[in-house]
Amino acid sequence: MSLKDTSPRALYEEREHKFLQELATRSTDPKYIHRVHHLEDDPFRTGFLRDHTRLIHSRAFRRLRHKTQVFISPKNDHLCTRMEHSLYVASVATTIARALCLNEDLVLAIAVGHDIGHSPFGHKGEKCLDEIAKKHDLHFCHELQSLRVVDYLESPYKEYHGLNLTFAVRDGIACHYGERFENELAPDRDKPFDALNSMRRGEASPATLEGCVVRWADKIAYLGRDLADALMLHVVNSEDIPPVVRDRLGTTNREIISSLVHELVANGTEGDRLRVSPKIHEALNVFYEFNCQQIYKTKEATWHFDQIDRAMRTMFDFLLRELEPVHGKDDVHRLEERPHPSLRVLAEFLREDVRSWTPESRPQLVIDFIAGMTDSYFIRTFRELFVPNSAV
């Protein structure tokens, strides 16, 4: 045996073939481990675990700790942020994957990266950017923006742009759509590599069972946690929880996660799909509607929405005007000559992250820049650009 054959990675891949179930995704499967740019095997990590490392070390992942989950720019440190949500999804997904003998490395990587392209201010910020994008014949959604981040905008390597992730991880990130509650979900195993380039939000199933696990884990993680935050803020009371939810899922985040994980594991993967029973499916839909009406649409969650609309439009229009005289990387210095520190950050983004941005439309570049902002950085930048400070 060669040294490569006895490496920790190779030994782990051998264990995958022995212990993972037939429908699981192996770290040696050429279709799912495919990368746009070739990488030599790592001696210690599988390809999927290597993707996990690249994602958690990215700047885009780091910024998730200051991005809204439900309640806008929370000052209460116990409220869930976008980063914490991603870690909760990873925890739920790996628990399910282990119980079903699926690939834990793969679900871990998809989970930590699934929201990496999310906008500031949660789904309200996402909606604002999409409305702006449509006026320029573009579209914005956080699922496909997350794919754009890992493929193009997060560029720490000199050899290529993007993180150069495997097809299975990129696919799982793009297909994690969490706002539809199917009673069963099957992977699209015939999906070609280039299908990710023409995807539309919510229309495609993941290519792997592990991607399906993360799509389910996303729902499990946010439903119960959003309820827990709302209960802590007294937006709702436990008595308000619909009886069908209380009886079939529970009333605490712990109970809800446990109920749904047990449900998915108990139903297994027969027929190459994940499923829940009709009773649990009914309870999930009632639960989601309850959260929508009693949490997501309440004044506590929405009272800044008008301000976010105005601020995002104003910010977009200003930055788009600032880009008008910039015709290439040689012109980026024009932004650095302006008196605003945020424009120097924009110049750095164009020079360092967008390796070849001249084919991109200026509206797309501005949307990319705003989408990458944290809530706190957006607010600080808005004040810098539009709120006068004393000159003396």
Residues 27 and 61 in one domain: yes
Tell me, what's the pLDDT at 33? 97
Residues 295 and 324 in one domain: no
Integer Cα distance of 74 and 65 in angstroms: 11
Supply the Cα-derived Rg of the chain in whole angstroms.
Answer: 22
Which H/E stretch holds residue 237? none
Residues 250 and 364 in one domain: no
Does residue 294 lie within any of the structural domains? yes
The answer on pLDDT for 3 being more than 70 is: no
Q: Which of 301, 331, 357 is the last residue of a domain?
A: 301
> In this prediction, what percent of the chain has a pLDDT beyond 70?
94
Q: CA 388: distance to chain centroid?
A: 35
Average pLDDT rounded to a whole number, residues 238-264? 95
Tell me, what's the pLDDT at 95? 98
- pLDDT, one tens digit per residue, over 69-125 is 776 666 666 666 888 999 999 999 999 999 999 999 999 999 999 999 999 998 899
Residues 319 and 284 in one domain: no
Does residue 99 lie within any of the structural domains? yes
**Lowest-confidence pick of 120-124, 163-167, 170-174, 213-217:** 120-124
Q: Which pLDDT band, with edges at 50, 70 and 90, does 67 fall under?
A: confident
CATH number (domain holding residue 17) = 1.10.3210.10
Residues 138-144: contacts with CB under 8 Å, at least 24 apart: 138/361, 138/363, 138/364, 138/367, 139/201, 140/367, 140/371, 141/201, 142/115, 142/117, 142/118, 143/114, 143/117, 143/173, 143/174, 143/175, 143/176, 143/177, 143/201, 143/202, 144/117, 144/174, 144/199, 144/201
Tell me, what's the pLDDT at 303? 83
Residue-range definition of the domain harbouring residue 350: 305-386
Q: Which of 301, 323, 358 is the last residue of a domain?
A: 301
Residues 199 and 314 in one domain: no
The answer on pLDDT for 144 being more than 60 is: yes
> In this prediction, what percent of the chain has a pLDDT beyond 90?
67
Residues 105 and 238 in one domain: yes
Residues 319 and 295 in one domain: no
Does residue 143 lie within any of the structural domains? no
Cα angle 236-238-241, degrees, rounded to a multiple of 5:
85
Q: Which pLDDT band, with edges at 50, 70 and 90, does 178 fall under?
A: low
Average pLDDT rounded to a whole number, residues 281-306? 90
- pLDDT, one tens digit per residue, over 308-345 is 999 999 999 999 999 888 877 777 878 888 888 899 99
Tell me, what's the pLDDT at 1? 39
Does residue 391 lie within any of the structural domains? no
Does residue 141 lie within any of the structural domains? no
The answer on pLDDT for 2 being more than 60 is: no
Residues 286-294: contacts with CB under 8 Å, at least 24 apart: 286/242, 286/244, 286/245, 287/223, 287/242, 287/245, 287/249, 288/181, 288/223, 290/240, 290/241, 290/242, 290/245, 291/223, 291/226, 291/227, 291/230, 294/230, 294/235, 294/236, 294/240
Q: Which of 249, 283, 301 is the last residue of a domain?
A: 301
Residues 204 and 92 in one domain: yes
Does residue 239 lie within any of the structural domains? yes
Of residues 61 and 76, the one with the higher pLDDT is 61
| 8 A C-beta contact, residue 294 and residue 235 | yes
Residues 327 and 279 in one domain: no
- pLDDT, one tens digit per residue, over 12-60 is 999 999 999 999 999 999 999 999 999 999 999 999 999 999 999 999 9
Tell me, what's the pLDDT at 358? 64
Number of domains in the chain: 2
Residues 210 and 290 in one domain: yes
Does residue 259 lie within any of the structural domains? yes
Please state, rounded to an integer, the average pLDDT across all residues of the chain: 90
Residues 292 and 310 in one domain: no
Does residue 122 lie within any of the structural domains? no
Average pLDDT rounded to a whole number, residues 192-205? 83
What is the model's pTM?
0.94
Residues 162 and 229 in one domain: yes
